[in-house]
C-alpha cells in the first residue's frame, strides 16, 4: 500500500515491522504515581523505591522525559515519519465510577498500552488498572481527527470493565510474596487478574498480519483474549505466556518481532516449546535477546531492565534502540539491522521504552498470512 501522504490521515497497520509512516508519541505532562491498587501493586517489584508512595512525579523528571520524547518525535520526523501527540487530561483528578474510586490517574504515557491498531481500526483497550480507566481520553482528540479525515477509519472501544475487587486475586495483595512463589504462580498461570470479565491492555498484543499473538498475564486475562478473538473474526488469535517472568505485563519487553521470520525472545522469559510450533513450522527464527546494559531500572520506574529489547522497528532493516543499550544495538547490527540510537532512558519511568511510548497509525503494507 503506497497511498500515504502526510496531508491526510489514513489508518493502516497490520504488523510490527512494515515501513512506518505515521505514529503517535506519548507525553509525560503531569504524570502521576498512582495510589495503591491491586493490579498495579502486583507489578511493582517488592524491593522497588515506588512501594508506598504516590502523587505527582517530580517536575524536573517530567520536563526531562518530555525533552527526550520531543527529541524522539523530531528524530522520527527527520526520517519522514509523521508524528502526532496526544492532549493530556488532568491526571491529578481522582477516577470514580459506581464500582471503584482511586485518588489519581496515571498519565498520557505510554500510548501502546491503550491503543491497538489493526488494519484500519484503532481499538481502545479495556485496561486493567483503575488509575488507567480514563486514559483513552488523552487520545480522543486524535481519534476524532482521524475519524474526520479517514472515511475508512474504524474507531472502536472495548467494553469498559467494572474493576471491582472481584477482578483481582487477594493472594497478590500480600506485601511479601517472594520471587520463587511468583514464578510458580506465573508457571501455573495464576495471575493477579481473575476471569470476572474481559480485561486486556493493548501492549499485550503483537500483530503478525492475519495472526495476533496475545500474552496472558497480569494485565490480560483469558476472557480478554477471547474478546479480542471474537472482535477480530478474520484473525487467528494465539494466547501465549512466559513462565520466567514474575511480573508479566505487556509482551513488548519479552517477545519482539523484527521482520518476517525473525523474533527476539527475552532469555529469562522463554516462550514454552509447545507455543513455538507455529513459528518453527513456518521457518521463523526465535533468538535470545542481548543482555540489558543496566543492572537496575531507573528511579521510580515500573518496568524491568528488559526495556532494552523494547525497540521500535521503522522498517525491516531499520530499528530504533535506546542509546545506552549497547549490547542490544550490537546484536541488531549483527542481525543486519541499521540502528537508530534514541536517548530515552530518563523517560522509562513514565511507562516504558521506545515501543511502549508510541502507537502505530500507518505502516505500509497489507494483511499478510505469515503462518499458512
- Cβ proximity to ligand ABU: between 278 and 293 the closer is 293
Tell me the C-alpha distance between 205 and 225, whole Å: 9
DSSP letter (8 states) at residue 360:
E
Least distance to ligand ABU from the beta carbon of 117, Å? 17
- Cβ proximity to ligand ABU: between 129 and 306 the closer is 306
For strand 318-322 and strand 338-342, is the pairing parallel, antiparallel, or unpaired?
parallel
C-alpha cell at 157: 472501544
Burial class (CB in 10 A: 0-12, 13-18, 19+), 59: exposed
- Cβ proximity to ligand ABU: between 11 and 253 the closer is 253
DSSP letter (8 states) at residue 119:
B
Least distance to ligand ABU from the beta carbon of 232, Å? 22
The torsion of the CA quartet 308, 313, 319, 325, rounded to 10 degrees, works out to -10
Catalytic residue chosen out of the listed positions 131, 301, 320, 356: 356
Least distance to ligand ABU from the beta carbon of 34, Å? 15
- Cβ proximity to ligand ABU: between 241 and 303 the closer is 303
CB 103 within 8 A of CB 148: no
Name every residue whose Cβ is closer than 8 Å to that of residue 91 and which is 6 or more positions away in sequence: 30, 31, 32, 104, 105, 106, 107, 108
Catalytic residue chosen out of the listed positions 167, 201, 204, 360: 201
- Cβ proximity to ligand ABU: between 193 and 304 the closer is 304
Cell numbers 501455573: residue: 188
- Cβ proximity to ligand ABU: between 44 and 173 the closer is 44
Closest CA to 106 of 165, 40, 160, 58: 40
Does the annotation count 201 as an active-site position? Answer: yes
How many other CB atoms are there within 10 angstroms of residue 227's CB atom?
A: 20
Least distance to ligand ABU from the beta carbon of 84, Å? 21
- Cβ proximity to ligand ABU: between 102 and 308 the closer is 308
Catalytic residue chosen out of the listed positions 32, 235, 250, 355: 250
Least distance to ligand ABU from the beta carbon of 319, Å? 17
Binding site for ligand ABU (CB under 6 A): 203, 249-250, 252-253, 303-304, 306, 352, 356
Report H helices in 25-170.
Answer: 38-43, 59-78, 111-114, 140-149
C-alpha cell at 370: 505469515
CB 107 within 8 A of CB 350: yes
Question: How far from 35 is each of 136, 166, 275, 352, CA to CA, in Å?
Answer: 19, 19, 37, 19
Does the annotation count 346 as an active-site position? Answer: no
Least distance to ligand ABU from the beta carbon of 356, Å? 5
Least distance to ligand ABU from the beta carbon of 9, Å? 26
Cite the active site residues. Answer: 201, 250, 356
Amino acid at each position: 500500500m503506497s497511498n500515504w501522504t502526510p496531508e491526510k490521515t489514513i489508518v493502516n497497520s497490520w504488523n510490527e515491522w512494515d515501513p512506518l509512516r505515521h505514529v503517535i508519541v506519548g507525553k509525560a505532562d503531569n504524570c502521576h504515581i498512582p495510589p495503591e491498587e491491586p493490579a498495579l501493586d502486583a507489578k511493582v517489584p517488592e524491593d522497588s523505591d515506588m512501594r508506598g508512595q504516590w502523587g505527582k512525579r517530580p517536575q524536573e523528571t517530567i520536563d526531562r522525559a518530555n525533552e527526550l520524547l520531543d527529541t524522539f518525535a523530531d528524530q522520527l520526523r527527520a526520517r519522514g515519519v509523521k508524528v502526532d501527540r496526544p492532549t493530556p487530561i488532568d491526571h491529578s483528578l481522582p477516577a470514580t465510577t459506581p464500582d471503584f474510586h482511586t485518588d489519581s490517574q496515571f498519565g498520557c504515557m505510554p500510548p501502546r498500552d491503550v491503543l491497538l491498531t489493526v488494519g484500519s481500526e484503532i481499538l481502545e483497550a479495556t485496561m486493567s488498572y483503575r488509575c488507567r480507566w480514563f486514559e483513552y481520553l488523552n487520545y480522543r482528540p486524535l481519534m476524532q481527527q482521524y475519524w474526520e479525515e479517514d472515511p475508512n477509519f474504524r474507531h472502536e472501544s472495548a467494553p469498559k470493565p467494572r474493576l471491582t475487587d472481584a477482578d483481582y486475586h487477594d493472594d497478590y495483595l500480600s506485601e511479601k510474596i517472594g520471587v520463587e512463589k511468583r514464578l510458580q504462580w506465573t508457571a501455573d498461570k495464576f495471575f493477579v487478574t481473575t476471569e470476572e470479565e474481559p480485561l486486556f491492555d493493548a501492549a499485550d498484543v503483537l500483530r503478525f498480519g492475519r495472526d495476533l499473538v496475545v500474552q496472558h498475564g497480569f494485565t490480560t486475562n483469558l476472557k480478554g483474549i477471547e474478546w479480542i478473538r471474537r472482535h477480530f473474526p478474520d484473525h487467528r488469535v494465539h494466547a501465549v505466556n512466559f513462565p520466567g517472568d514474575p511480573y508479566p505485563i505487556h509482551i513488548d519487553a519479552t517477545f519482539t518481532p523484527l521482520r518476517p521470520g525473525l523474533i527476539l525472545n527475552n532469555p529469562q522469559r522463554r516462550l514454552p516449546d509447545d507455543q513455538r510450533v507455529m513459528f518453527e513450522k513456518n521457518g521463523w527464527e526465535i533468538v535470545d535477546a542481548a543482555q540489558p546494559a543496566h543492572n537496575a531500572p531507573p528511579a521510580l520506574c515500573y518496568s524491568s531492565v528488559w526495556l532494552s529489547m523494547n525497540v521500535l522497528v521503522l522498517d525491516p532493516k531499520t530499528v530504533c534502540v535506546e542509546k545506552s543499550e549497547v549490547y542490544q544495538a550490537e546484536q541488531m547490527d549483527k542481525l543486519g539491522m541499521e540502528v537508530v540510537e534514541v536517548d530515552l532512558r530518563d523517560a522509562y519511568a513514565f511507562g516504558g521504552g521506545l515501543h511502549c511510548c508510541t502507537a502505530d497509525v500507518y505502516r505500509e503494507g497489507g494483511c499478510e498470512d505469515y503462518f499458512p
